[in-house]
A and B are shown apart, each in its own frame.
Chain A
């Protein structure tokens, strides 16, 4: 940091505030984060109120519409057009939000909970526990994420819950590493040493001192993990590993087999894809905004 910056820092630019209020202030002013918040809210609302928003059922077929071949594009009755079996794309995309949200949240929750526990234990207890756990994580990380997920699905068989577990497991080493790093960083901190010196039990130290400080990188990582989870789940769906019932309106699965219709019915491929991009973008924007808001180095920066 340049001396000028150091000097302007020391000059009282702001009343020192807590990490959270500071972060909130910066988050509110971040335009990207606000846009992201808007996108994510839309996504969640659409998912929650799908039955009210969708004009048709997601599995409702109307074969007469495709009697002349595939497939009619956007029209007044069918905003996003119609798919190979005469189902309304708009309704399917709307219901698809439910699947993406559910699968995303569950997989991240799985990865987060197991990963955090493992990482905290490894970081806090160190020694052999640390080595063993980290070695295991390294092995899991030795296989690129999607392939690991594919392997797990191969073992469990295809289906919604299976891909949730697969993507969740892929997330475990990421969170484990993160938390281990945070715990290691805090462990030698003076306030931890002070707590140990007065005999506070290890478990309490972990819970009340170390973990709260590790929260902010976890929040950021969790949000970004949600974004990648949605992408990965869509990818697995696209490969045909997701819900085996092709009527299921999961966005990735909806994209399977649309490639051959690119010439005649591009809307089948483009629209679900755009839905994925928008929701993922929303989470990425929020995640980025959170990262900047919570980064202690940026506090008071010009």
Chain B
């Protein structure tokens, strides 16, 4: 999937595996994507589909039992997956930054917020405490923390969840990274706060022309924020499209299923919620058939025999399916009632 300019990050055929006491877990099974500078890319999928693992693998901070078994990730002319830890360290936090899901546990409880903000500045830019403090103050103000000066000396437990996530964003943007990875940034927050945080992210990212990789299970989040979207399932991309196209005309049965299972205010009173039947695939073996087939209403014989390849069925639209959903199917369902 190529973008107009030279991609900032170009991931090709990434495979990640974990060794556990019950066997090998094939968490990521061959994903490829590009992110252009300043672009906002969404990766959508259920829990356990491997989306978080992808970002951890890129930064080289997988858990001990995790390994990248294949693939490349070109960034700034270097393959991230082949770099050694001290080389990656200069990229982490400086050129690629990451914010995590749970702001309640992602900050060190025994250090002040100021200290945690200064850390990357001192480490990457060699700033002294005074300079770092001034910059930290700026950052806190930019993310909308009131009384920033006093707050620098406070500890994480003195902030609310939403505030802590703002701080996380400030920390991530401290060194003006080229790419920000946001892994479920609003999942742990109240709905009202979610909107604020997303708005903040959108503003900051566009101001700085930072690329944003937004990982989430929430379609609503993706709809408002992303230019392009990858739908992920069982460690592979099932569909890739622009956000507008994806929401108007989902072509993969899984995407369709996701859209169908979201309750809507404008649905008729008798319209039933349609959850996706079954449960996520057991990842103890690499896929040998279409991973979604067991839960799919559109499966054909071939779905059970091999993994469908990711194909460009329209310009800018990739789908991994032997029997993609007809283009107008979703619109039809929405207008006409139950499928």
Contacts and interface: CB of A to CB of B under 8 A. Distances in A.
B100 A12 contact: no
Contacts of A12: 279-280, 282-283
Given A13-B22, A302-B21, A4 B63 contact: yes
A12 to B, nearest CB: 5
A21 interface: no
A102 B47 CA distance: 54
Interface string A284-302: 0000000000000000011
A25 B89 CA distance: 41
Interface string B245-284: 0000000000000000000000000000000000110111
Nearest to A26: B21
Contacts of B282: 11-12
Contacts of B100: 3
Contact of B101 (A3, A4, A11): A3
Given A3-B100, A4-B56, A4-B66, A10 B47 contact: yes
Contacts of A76: none
B19 interface: yes
Given A11-B282, A12-B279, A3 B56 contact: yes
Contact of B18 (A3, A6, A8, A14): A8
Interface in A4-23: 4-8, 10-14
Nearest to A9: B48
A5 B22 contact: no
A208 interface: no
B183 interface: yes
Contact of A2 (B21, B25, B48, B63): B63
A8 B27 contact: yes
B48 A11 contact: yes
Contacts of A14: 22
B97 to A, nearest CB: 16
A11 B66 contact: no
Interface in A193-213: none
Which secondary structure dominates chain B's binding surface?
loop
A3 to B, nearest CB: 4
A11 B280 contact: yes
Nearest to A29: B21
B192 interface: no
A4 B48 contact: no
Interface residues on A, range: 10 to 19
Contact of A13 (B25, B52, B66, B183): B25
B147 interface: no
A4 B20 contact: no
Contacts of A5: 63
A2 B66 CA distance: 12
A170 B63 CA distance: 44
A10 B19 contact: no
B50 interface: yes
B321 to A, nearest CB: 22
B150 interface: no
Contacts of B50: 7
B65 interface: yes
Nearest to B56: A4
B53 interface: yes
A7 B283 CA distance: 11
B123 to A, nearest CB: 22
A16 to B, nearest CB: 12
A6 B18 CA distance: 13
Contacts of A4: 18, 27, 52-53, 56, 62-63, 66
Contacts of B56: 2-4
Nearest to B215: A3
B47 A302 contact: no
A3 B279 contact: no
21 contacts: A3-B100, A3-B183, A4-B18, A4-B52, A4-B53, A4-B62, A4-B66, A5-B63, A7-B27, A7-B47, A7-B49, A8-B25, A8-B48, A10-B47, A10-B48, A13-B20, A13-B22, A14-B22, A301-B21, A302-B20, A302-B21
Interchain residue pairs A-B with the least CB separation, the first 8: A10-B48, A302-B20, A3-B52, A11-B283, A4-B63, A11-B48, A13-B22, A7-B48
Given A8-B18, A8-B27, A13-B20, 8 more contacts: A7-B48, A7-B50, A10-B48, A11-B280, A12-B280, A12-B283, A13-B25, A302-B21
